[in-house]
Amino acid sequence: MPPAYLALGSNLGDRRQTLAAAVRRLRAEPGLQVVATSAFYETAPVDCPPGSPPFLNAALGLHTDRSPEDLLRLLLRIERQFGRVRTEPNAPRTLDLDLLLYGEAVVRTPELVLPHPRMHERDFVLVPLAEIAPHAVHPVLGKTVQELLEPLLARFTDPAVPRPRLAVEKRQAVPDLAGLRALVTGSTSGIGAAIAHEFEARGAVVVRHGRRARADRAGSTGCFLAADLTDPAQVDRLADEAWAMLGGLDVLVCNAGADTLTGPAANWSFDEKLEVLLAVDLKATMRLARSLGRRMKERGSGCVLTVGWDQAETGMEGDSGELFAAVKGAVMCFTRSLARSLAPEVRVNCLAPGWVRTAWGEAAGPVWQERVRRETPLGVWGLPEDVAAAAAWLASPAAGFITGQTLRINGGAVA
Active site residues: 84, 93, 96, 98
64-93 burial string, b = 16+ CB within 10 Å, else e?
A: bebebeebbebbeebbeebebeeeeeeebb
Q: Which residues contact 148 (CB under 8 A, 6 or more apart)?
A: 119, 120, 126, 138, 141
Q: How long, in residues, is the chain?
A: 415
